[in-house]
Structure 1
Amino acid sequence: MRVLRLSFLSLAALCGPFGSLSFAGPGLLAHRAVYDLSLGDASDRSGINGISGRMVYEFTGSACEGYSTTFRFVMRIETDEATRLSDQQTTTFEDAKGETFQFVNKTYLDNTLDREVRGVARTGKDGTDVDVSKPEKRSFKLEPTQFPVTHMKEAIAKAKDGGGFYQTTLYDSSEDADRVMLTAVTIGKARGVAKDDPEREAAAVLKDGTYWPVTIAYFDPTKDRGEETPEYDISFLMHESGVTRDLNMNYGEFSINGKLVDLTLFDQKDGVSCTE
């Protein structure tokens, strides 16, 4: 399973003042979000009987400092043969201009380190240069693209302009950190939080902000599109503060649901003032 990236899954605008809360950029709120994970749908072919776990996503930074994310995705997967514990951990930093992206991705299986991918990518008009230091040193050049926070900002702008469908590309260091993904993004109309929304209590700190329903499908652009289905797709609700909730991660033969259960907004650092 590919490591899920949440750093580009956010949007929308919250109404009213935020007092001392720290924004990671225009409309982006520094925060920590915790999600409970459960199995959505699973085909017989998947061999999966149950999934439970927790996901923690933390987003900090500013338009002058750059943006940091830490992400941990812990799942207990039950099959007919065994129960496995998967622990995926990611730390990234994207500079304020969206030109440099540093990443460390670690995957543990049953509490034993199974894989670590570490490196840095730099993008520009002539392409994207990637230098990987682990698991072994290697360098390669990919097409020009966007990194996760820049990808997110583009989605915010599209949503504010009425949403709809568009395609773009993304480099997020998934798997072997050696490819740019084509993303097909569908953004619905803005909505308000309903009184019977099951995540309303967890998201109460956001007050009565609006959100957009969004689906992003991920394709490998090196493959013939034709009738190709996406490698995976993610549907979610995005607040323009950058908070994402009501997740459905569809991997084809099975899907995972993520429900927001806790949200912490970070205080602003004293004396910090940053504009684009």
Structure 2
Amino acid sequence: MPGISKRLRPACAGLVLLAGGVAQAAPAAPVAPSEGAKPAPVVLANHRAVYDLSLASSGGTRAVESARGRIVIDFRGDACRGYTMQTRQVTELASGESGSRTSDLRNTTFEGGEGREFRFKTVTVLNGEPAAPVDGTADAGADALKVRLKEPRKEQLGEAGPVLFPSRHMRRLIQAARAGETTLAAKVFDGSDDGKKIYDTLAVIGRQATGPTAASGSERDKPLRDAPMAGVPHWPVTLSYFTKGAGERTPIYTLSFDLYDNGVSGALKLDYGDFAIVGDLTRLDLDKGADKACAP
């Protein structure tokens, strides 16, 4: 989902602790966007979302005793102007062995409307100490990805394509869900961590639902049970991230969420293997007026 990345590095845009978990078959071959008959365009809602974080479960060798924090995502743009996203994630983890760790991550990205160009900048403060910023650009062609880093030092790297940026990946997920597809494998680059990592991802998509979310009956994700979101179709998605490689691999991170047809996400759960965190959508501000496909 736009805004949520793998690195809680101790901190959507931000936790990266390696995950354990049960070994799964890694995605076989990345899937490029469909080239057949054009489906109805996916229009991502311009919105600001606030998720309050809390500990869901913990175990293993790096047990976390408590977790709290907040993710704020501000998403703007369309397929003509491109997409701008600002994310801030503040997370505090407490452990009897390692003590308390607090991370404050701020991430800003711009993605071209056709998903071919990408700019990213991330600033992280860990326990009050700022880390070196990550700043760079990337270009995605049909056959390859090229990344140019400005900070922490000038560097270039490439990857055989196709590779999707976050907003295009989100739109591709929604297209797959609408078409009744149950899985989607893709290479994804979001500029997270050190700005060098390209992830193999595998999404498992459940059946479409319309109406109250699975969290109804509780106070969780209340903005999604109220108009105008109450009638928007959505699908449960489990999205696993893998480091590059071949054969059977264990995901380093798994993100579970309800994916709405307009790109908003609910029922958020971030699983790092040794512990998992849930995100409660406490506030959702949608731009006024119906979102429409742009006219170039």
TM-score class normalised by the smaller sequence: 0.7 to 0.9
RMSD of aligned alpha carbons: 2.2
Q: CA deviation at 1:69?
A: 0.5
TM-score, normalised by the number of residues in structure 1: 0.85
1:28-74 Cα distance to aligned partner (Å, 9 max, x none): 11000001100111114113110011111111001110000111111
Alpha-carbon contact 2:102-2:126 (below 8 Å) kept: yes
One-letter amino acid matched to 2:196: D
Aligned ranges for residues 66-215 of structure 1 at < 5 Å?
66-80=82-96, 81-144=98-161, 145-194=163-212, 196=217, 198-199=219-220, 201-203=222-224, 204-205=226-227, 206-215=229-238
Aligned length: 254
One-letter amino acid matched to 1:49: E
1:73-118 Cα distance to aligned partner (Å, 9 max, x none): 1111111142221111110000111110000011111233123110
What is aligned with 1:22?
none
* Alpha-carbon distance in structure 1 between the residues aligned to 2:130 and 2:143: 36
Q: Which 5+ residue runs of structure 1 have no aligned equivalent? A: 7-24
Q: Which runs of 4+ in 1 moved over 4 A?
A: none
Aligned-residue identity in percent: 31
What is aligned with 2:259?
238
Alpha-carbon contact 2:53-2:67 (below 8 Å) kept: yes
1:97-155 Cα distance to aligned partner (Å, 9 max, x none): 11100000111112331231100000113411111000011112122211111111111
TM-score, normalised by the number of residues in structure 2: 0.80
Greater share of strand: 1
Moved more, 28-37 or 187-196: 187-196
Q: Which 5+ residue runs of structure 2 have no aligned equivalent? A: 1-5, 15-40
Alpha-carbon contact 2:222-2:281 (below 8 Å) kept: no
